[in-house]
């Protein structure tokens, strides 16, 4: 009963009245103002009550800043942080499903604010005081993380999590490309400073507003003239002026946060994994996002990666670029979530394209290292109804996955389809990066058995239980490579996006049909190659395929249907003939083996 009442209290706090928000804010700010030198308290209080905060914000902001310059931040930091956390009780936004992490979230917020530079903490105070007294908890939190790119990035990641309060999710989704913490004047000046000669050479004319603004960069439209004189449209992605300084500070804070988690993991019920080691790997990937030359190279790699595929586009990199400005072609379309709302008849098609181009194009890539987008929130994935085309933008946060790991992911998916515990265990064990540590094998086997035992009989990939398996193993302390963690993060984001694109879309059906369809499409080639060859996009040998087909036959028997009927159910009716030929080949091989 106590737990239920706590949940109800926390959820109820998301819908408290404006009067209650006002009372809480007034109580906190009165205590906050008492920390300032006495001679400034009266004027600060008058500003707090001044309605011109909303009509003449810049004047009031400037005065707040001047007065708070007299506040000794460092000697009062503990009290200031405590009052900010009272004003913005972040634990109330933690969904009930994550209730056990409430204390950890509260402590994390405290660690971050205590380590924020005095200059930035002072700015945070001004921003909170500029809000209406009845501003909601969600509004205050999003204002708090203004100009905090790492926290905005985390907000983008969780924005599509269906466990969050719907109103909070809606606000977080604005972090995808509707952030407003850079000025057009600063970005305009940056472009002109960086591209002096190219502006006249290409007759560049900038648009008068941002197309989008994300955590690290702002996007400005422009027109230009090619060497042939043709007028073209493009966009500049421009690094915000404050990012380099703030990003470096925040990465150090995240380091301190990892140390805090390592020291207090038993108190929070966290795994015995080394948070510092994991963060060090992931942090190196995050660093790339603020280094535009790296992203420019990735953009070209991504364009080449998808060049031979239909219905997908990566913007072309243009010659006007520097370390802080990237010029690229303008791509027609809108966010996939917006496109699905505008063209509901295309929602299923959009969902299929997202899975096919952002998951299976990676898994079935024929080369050694497959590039994947590690930040696929809806602001980075557009759809053009006119061209029936997915456009994948912003490759700052991207990774590659080895052919070996992709092969194990196929095996893991097959393990779930066939409810094959041994296959799923082997694949998961090979994907882990701690194969020689005592006890890891037993932990993985136990978790695999638990998940597989809970699956229905019908053969489907079951993506959510599969990702939950990886999550549980991470919480058990099993380590996985940083690239695999980023792929898991990518899947987490994509699942939320897919739900918002088309709530009725069955992800597991499409994953299963596409995976088995790829394997079946390889059968004609398989008839001409060695049974042990793995030189296929699925990396599944024909000899191994026999076990897959045997497994499907066993499942068909359990379901009380014929094997051919099961193939029809899976949308693989065209494969029946090929499967028959392949099965005949297996029988001949078995006969030869028996005679020998």
Beta bridge partners of 400: 371
pLDDT in tens, 336-379: 999 999 999 999 999 999 999 999 999 999 999 999 999 899 99
Residues 90 and 163 grouped into a single domain = yes
Read off the pTM: 0.82
Residues 146 and 106 grouped into a single domain = yes
Residue 128 domain boundaries: 2-174
Residues 355 and 493 grouped into a single domain = yes
Closest residue by Cα to residue 170 from 459, 425, 496:
496
**What sign has the CA pseudo-torsion 30, 31, 34, 40?**
negative
User: Which residues have CB under 8 Å from 398's CB, separation 6+?
Assistant: 288, 298, 302, 371, 372, 373, 374, 375
Residue 166 belongs to a domain: yes
- How many other C-beta atoms lie within 10 A of the C-beta of residue 457? 9
Share of the chain above pLDDT 90, in %: 55
Q: Measure CA of the first residue to CA of the last residue in the chain; give whole Å.
A: 70
**H or E, element range at 232:** strand 231-239
Domain count, the chain: 4
Residues 43 and 155 grouped into a single domain = yes
Residue 223 belongs to a domain: no
Q: Which of 478, 506, 534 is the last residue of a domain?
A: 506
Residues 362 and 461 grouped into a single domain = yes
Residues 404 and 428 grouped into a single domain = yes
Residue 301 belongs to a domain: no
Q: Which of 229, 258, 289 is the last residue of a domain?
A: 289
Residues 486 and 533 grouped into a single domain = no
Tokens in use for 104? 């950890």
Residue 68 belongs to a domain: yes
Do the beta carbons of residue 329 and residue 316 sit within 8 Å? yes
Question: Cα separations (Å) of 538 from 30, 152, 533?
Answer: 64, 37, 11
Residues 590 and 451 grouped into a single domain = no
Residues 50 and 118 grouped into a single domain = yes
Residues 383 and 481 grouped into a single domain = yes
Query: Mean pLDDT, 10 residues at a time, over the chain (596 residues)?
Result: 42 66 93 93 89 83 93 95 95 85 91 95 94 91 89 76 76 74 93 94 95 90 94 96 86 87 84 66 70 93 95 96 96 95 97 96 95 93 96 93 96 94 96 79 95 92 90 85 89 92 93 88 85 92 86 89 80 60 54 41
Q: Which of 123, 158, 174 is the last residue of a domain?
A: 174
Helix, coil or strand: residue 94 = coil
Residue 204 belongs to a domain: no
Residue 131 belongs to a domain: yes
The pLDDT of residue 435? 66
Report which DSSP code applies to 71: S
Residues 149 and 118 grouped into a single domain = yes
Residue 414 belongs to a domain: yes
The pLDDT of residue 279? 67
Residues 500 and 377 grouped into a single domain = yes
Helix, coil or strand: residue 449 = helix
């Amino acid at each position: 009963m106590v737990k239920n009442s706590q949940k109800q209290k926390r959820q109820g706090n998301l819908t408290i009245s404006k009067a209650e928000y006002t009372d809480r804010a007034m109580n906190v700010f009165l205590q906050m103002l008492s920390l300032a030198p006495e001679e400034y308290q009266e004027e600060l209080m008058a500003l707090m009550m001044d309605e011109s905060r909303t009509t003449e914000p810049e004047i009031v902001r400037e005065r707040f800043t001047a007065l708070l310059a007299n506040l000794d931040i460092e000697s009062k930091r503990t009290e200031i942080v405590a009052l900010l956390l009272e004003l913005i009780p972040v634990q109330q936004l933690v969904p009930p499903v994550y209730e056990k992490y409430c204390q950890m979230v509260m402590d994390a917020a405290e660690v971050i604010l205590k380590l924020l530079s005095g200059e930035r903490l002072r700015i945070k105070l001004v921003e909170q005081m500029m809000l209406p007294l009845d501003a909601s908890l969600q509004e205050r939190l999003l204002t708090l993380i203004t100009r905090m790119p790492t926290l905005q990035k985390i907000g983008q990641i969780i924005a599509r999590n269906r466990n969050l309060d719907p109103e909070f999710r809606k606000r977080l989704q604005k972090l995808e490309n509707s952030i407003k913490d850079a000025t057009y004047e600063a970005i305009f000046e940056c472009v002109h400073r960086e591209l002096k000669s190219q502006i006249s050479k290409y007759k560049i004319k900038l648009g008068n507003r941002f197309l989008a603004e994300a955590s690290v960069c702002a996007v400005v439209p422009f027109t230009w003239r090619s060497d042939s004189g043709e007028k073209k449209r493009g966009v500049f992605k421009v690094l915000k002026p404050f990012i380099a300084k703030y990003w470096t500070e925040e990465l150090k804070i995240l380091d301190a946060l990892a140390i805090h988690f390592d020291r207090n993991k038993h108190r929070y019920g966290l795994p015995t994994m080394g948070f510092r080691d994991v963060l060090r790997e992931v942090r190196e990937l995050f660093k790339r996002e603020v280094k535009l030359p790296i992203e420019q190279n990735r953009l070209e790699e991504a364009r080449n990666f998808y060049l031979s595929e239909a219905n997908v586009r990566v913007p072309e990199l243009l010659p006007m670029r520097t370390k802080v400005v990237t010029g690229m072609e303008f791509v027609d379309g809108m966010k996939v979530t917006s496109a699905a709302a505008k063209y509901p008849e295309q929602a299923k098609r959009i969902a299929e394209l997202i899975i096919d181009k952002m998951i299976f194009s990676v898994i079935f890539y024929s080369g050694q290292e497959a590039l994947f987008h590690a930040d696929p929130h809806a602001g980075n994935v557009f759809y053009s109804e006119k061209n029936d085309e997915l456009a994948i933008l912003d490759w700052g946060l991207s990774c590659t996955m080895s052919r070996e790991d992709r092969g194990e992911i196929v095996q893991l998916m097959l393990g779930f389809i066939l409810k094959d515990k041994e296959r799923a265990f082997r694949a998961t064990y090979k994907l882990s990066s701690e194969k020689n540590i005592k006890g890891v094998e037993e932990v993985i086997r136990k978790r695999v058995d638990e998940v597989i035992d809970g699956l229905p009989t019908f053969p489907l990939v079951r993506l959510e239980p599969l990702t939950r398996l990886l999550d549980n193993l991470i919480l058990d302390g099993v380590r996985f490579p940083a690239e695999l963690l980023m792929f898991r993060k990518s899947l987490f984001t994509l699942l939320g996006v897919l739900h918002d694109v088309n709530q009725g879309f069955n992800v597991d059906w499409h994953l299963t049909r596409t995976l088995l369809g790829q394997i079946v499409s390889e059968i004609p080639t398989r008839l001409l190659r060695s049974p042990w060859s793995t030189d296929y996009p699925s990396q599944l040998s024909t000899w191994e395929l026999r076990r897959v087909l045997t497994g499907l036959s066993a499942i068909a028997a359990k379901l009380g249907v014929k094997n051919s009927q099961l193939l029809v159910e899976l949308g693989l009716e065209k494969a029946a003939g090929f499967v028959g030929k392949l099965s005949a080949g297996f029988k001949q091989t078995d006969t030869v083996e028996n005679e020998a």
